[in-house]
Homo-oligomer: A and B are copies of this chain.
Amino acid sequence: MSARPPKPPRQERWDRRMETPLTVASLAFLTTYAVRVLARDRIPQTWLDLCLAVTAAAWAVFVVDYAVRLRLSGLGPLRFVRAHLLDTVVLVLPLLRPVRMVSIYDRVQRRHDKPRLGLYARVMVYAGLSVALLGFAGALTVYHHEADAPGATIRTFGDAVWWACATLATVGYGDVAPVTPVGRLTAVGMMACGLALLGAVTGSFSSWLIQAFGREDDKRPPGNSPGAS
């Protein structure tokens, strides 16, 4: 979204061709990671190994895609990393992988030339979906590391989801909270990313509401005194 110069045609073609594989890989990554964390004790080891393999394969797809796009962009690695920060973070932290799916959805949407939502609505949908996926991935990781820790208050996946929601909304009741270093690190990452994204949702909603109320005023015949702010 931040690449301002017009893309060369080969890059365009690559982007288009990779849409389906990337979506599939994102879904596969999220699903298999979730299965491995949530069904640890309930499914045979063979399945867990299979899940791990799929997770790794999905990751490989993203690495290849990133490398090819770096190649095609014609930019140096450093400038490319700067222009595609989200993609890069996602490459290093597989946990955030699913968030990419949102931008793929956006790209598909655009290609089909569908009548799209308004600007604020699109920001809300984009940031809102990102927050939801981030929260889900965060809850998975925290549950993964907290469930068996001594003195942990997050003991079920339900607790982890409840904790993730309270954290992202900055409510933070504190009835459940991570106690392990990895759990707390994940929490800090969720706060940093989630609050900025949620701020975008809230800000867009607020702007949209003000715009909607303002438009309503414009529609009224000019003879009426519209009141003053």
What residues make up the interface of A, taking CB atoms closer than 8 Å to B? Answer: 1-2, 4, 110, 113, 115-123, 126-127, 158, 162, 165-167, 169-175, 177, 179, 181, 184, 187-188, 191-192, 195-217, 220, 224-229
- How far apart are the CA atoms of A188 and B198 in the complex, in Å? 14
Q: Is the CB of B119 within 8 A of A229?
A: yes
Cβ of A196 to closest chain B Cβ, rounded Å: 4
Extra contacts, 13 of them, besides A165-B187, A166-B187, A211-B229 (Cβ < 8 A), are: A4-B228, A118-B228, A123-B209, A165-B188, A166-B171, A166-B191, A167-B171, A170-B170, A171-B172, A197-B205, A199-B205, A202-B203, A208-B229
Cβ of A96 to closest chain B Cβ, rounded Å: 16
Cβ of A201 to closest chain B Cβ, rounded Å: 7
Q: Is the CB of A205 within 8 A of B200?
A: yes
Q: Which residues of B contact A126 (CB under 8 A)?
A: 209, 213
Q: Is the CB of A212 within 8 A of B1?
A: yes
- Interface SS of A by simple majority: helix
Counting chain B CB atoms within 10 Å of each CB, the highest count among A4, A167, A209, A211 belongs to A209
Q: Is the CB of B203 within 8 A of A191?
A: no
Q: Is the CB of B227 within 8 A of A118?
A: yes
Q: Nearest CB to that of A217 among chain B residues?
A: B119
Q: Which residues of B contact A198 (CB under 8 A)?
A: 195
Q: Is the CB of A227 within 8 A of B169?
A: no
Which residue in B181, B197, B213 is a CB contact (below 8 Å) of A123? B213
Q: Which residues of B contact A2 (CB under 8 A)?
A: 212
Q: Nearest CB to that of A121 among chain B residues?
A: B229
